[in-house]
Amino acid sequence: MERIYLGRQPIFDRKKRTVAYELLYRSGRGKNAFPDIDGDRATTQVLYNLLYGMGVQEVTGGRQAFVNMTRGLLLSGIAKNLDPASVVIEVLENVTIDDQVVRSCEELRELGFRLALDDFVVQEGVERLLPLASVVKLDFMADSRERLKEVVSMLEKYEVELLAEKIETEEDFQDALVMGCVYFQGYFFAKPVILERNELPAAAWSHLKIMGAIQRPEMEVDEMTEIIASDPGLTYKLLQLVNSAAFGFEKKVSSIQQALVLLGEKELRRWLTFVILNSIRGDRPQEIMVLACTRGRFAELLACAIGREHLAPVLFLTGLLSMLGVIMGRPLKELLSELPLDKTIAQALLERKGPLAPYYYLVYSYERGQMDVVARLAEALGIDEETVGKCYIEAVRWTDSFLLHGV
């Protein structure tokens, strides 16, 4: 049975709020895993197994999904079975534009679908699709700024919204804003360019120190409880979390001691870390915590799947801390050096070494659709392709549910 692997990449608005996801699909090229199949078959399987099986609303948390369409699938009419309120049809840049493609796009527009033109380039026949398009995606990595400005100027006469993709830095984001883009896609929030050192508010420093303290394995339970209790705001947020629907405890948890008994020491440490990171996130996009939680949950599920449950707590923490540099506005290397963490976490995040590295970089590569890397790492860990896919879907589902009910 051929397996398809799902990823999702957030699409932001001008205020860096997540408004949609592009659903990513890849066929892998690993030995005895991730079979190589053509684009039409891969997309068809994703649409059938995922959009019909799980439901696009569950995958995207109720936001719109951008779904790539090859020429073959456009002409097949398969998109007509989707929900136009939930799905944006993305016409790939390598689709030859002829009468058949134009007619298929016209039919989709008549059904209420929005069309997006992926990696837009000026090519023969493109003027026939522009009147039908709602979104045009501009590739900020492939084209120069001068070329992009020329394209934007050419598009002014069409009623399209501009989506800047492959945004890698804050500078890219600002340039795209100036050009008039209204949507943004890429890893700029995950790989920021730190132009200057930001001074952190006293409260953020206090929470960061607490987070470091609670990671010390030699810390006694009473000492941990005392540290938490010394910060009323942190105590409130922790109790709010453990009393949420995400945990489902029958009785109200009214003290740190109760939370410790119900969660256990290891679980309390990791949830405190989550609470602290979310509290110092400030006005940065919520998607930061979505990505951090998904990474952590995905990694710990992979470990549990092969019987290495002892690694699960530290892998979840590794996923959360992978976004610490973004949250704090500081280089991750500096921040990790200031925290008394298990050295394997820093090894995995900064050096790609140590026992945690294969799990974390399998997660990281899957997130980016680098399926050849995923295949190698999965084979090394002894995880089959079906398990990897299931763990990712479960991590996405769990994260959406947890962030909806847990914070």
Average pLDDT over residues 185-189: 74
pLDDT digits (tens, 9 = 90+) for 371-406: 888 889 999 999 987 899 889 989 988 888 777 655
- What topology is assigned to 202-405 in CATH? Hypothetical protein af1432 (1.10.3210)
pLDDT in tens, 213-267: 666 666 676 777 777 777 777 787 778 878 877 677 777 888 888 887 777 777 7
In this predicted model, what pLDDT tens digit does every residue of 16-57 receive, in sequence order?
Answer: 888 998 877 544 433 223 334 555 665 666 565 555 555 676
Average pLDDT, stretch 178-186?
93
Cβ(186)–Cβ(172) below 8 Å: yes
The share of the chain scoring above pLDDT 90, in percent, equals 29
What's the mean pLDDT in 199-212? 60
Q: Is the model's pLDDT at 337 over the cut of 70?
A: yes
What pLDDT does residue 129 have? Answer: 92
* Residues in CB range of 193: below 8 A, 6 or more apart: 169, 170, 171
Which has more pLDDT, 230 or 172? 172
Is a pLDDT exceeding 80 seen at residue 279?
Answer: no
pLDDT at 199: 43
Task: Tell me where in the chain the CATH 1.10.3210.10 domain(s) lie.
Answer: 202-405
Q: What is the DSSP letter of 48?
A: I
Task: Name the average pLDDT for the chain.
Answer: 80
**Per-residue pLDDT tens digits for 93-146:** 888 889 999 999 999 999 999 999 988 877 778 889 999 999 999 998 887 889
DSSP 91-118: E-TT---SHHHHHHHHHHHHTT-EEEET
| pLDDT tens, position by position, 62-87 | 788 898 888 888 888 888 888 898 89
pLDDT of the residue at 51: 56
Among 280, 287, 343, residue whose Cα is nearest residue 317 = 343
Please say if the pLDDT value at position 195 is more than 60: no
Which of 185, 179, 149, 182 has the alpha carbon at shortest distance from 165? 185
| pLDDT class of 335 with cuts at 50, 70, 90 | confident
The pLDDT of residue 303: 94
CA–CA separation, 46 and 112 (whole Å): 22
Give residue 367's pLDDT: 83
Residue range 293-304, pLDDT digits in tens? 899 999 999 999
Structure tokens at 48: 């059938």
Q: What is the DSSP letter of 21?
A: E
Q: Give 212 or 228, the one with higher predicted confidence.
A: 228
- Please state whether 371 falls in left (phi above 0), alpha (psi between -120 and 50) or beta: alpha
At residue 150, does pLDDT exceed 70?
A: yes
Residues spanned by CATH 3.20.20.450 within the chain? 5-186
Please state, in angstroms and rounded to a whole number, the distance separating the CA atoms of residues 248 and 250: 6
Q: CATH homologous superfamily for 5-186? A: EAL domain (3.20.20.450)
